[in-house]
Amino acid sequence: MFTVRIHGFGGQDVLAAAELLSVAAYTDGRHGQAFRVGGQERTGSPTVACCRIDDRPLPAREPVLTPDAVVVRDPALLGVHEVFDGLGPDGYVLIDATGAAGRFGLAAAAGRRPERTVAVPASEIARRELGLALPNAALLGGLAALTGVVSLASVETAIRESFGGRLAHDNVEAARDAFAFVRYQQRERLGAAAAEAPAPAEVPAPAEVPAPAEVPAP
Instruction: For 41-59, write each residue's pLDDT tens digit.
Output: 667 688 999 999 999 988 7
Give tens-digit pLDDT for 6-28: 999 988 889 999 999 999 999 99
Find the DSSP H helices in 45-120. 99-108
Give tens-digit pLDDT for 130-145: 999 999 999 999 999 9
- Summarize the confidence of residues 173-184 as an average pLDDT: 97
Torsion-angle region of 127 (φ positive above 0: left; ψ -120 to 50: alpha; else: beta): alpha
In the predicted structure, residue 174 carries a pLDDT above the cut 70? yes
Listed in sequence order, the residues at least 6 apart from 168 whose beta carbon sits closer than 8 Å to its beta carbon are 159, 160, 162
Q: Which pLDDT score is estimated for 153?
A: 97
Sign of CA dihedral 155, 161, 165, 167: negative
Give tens-digit pLDDT for 201-216: 565 555 565 555 565 5
Q: Which pLDDT score is estimated for 144?
A: 98
Residue 55 buriedness (CB in 10 A; 0-12 / 13-18 / 19+): exposed
Domains and CATH numbers, the chain: 2-193 (3.40.920.10)
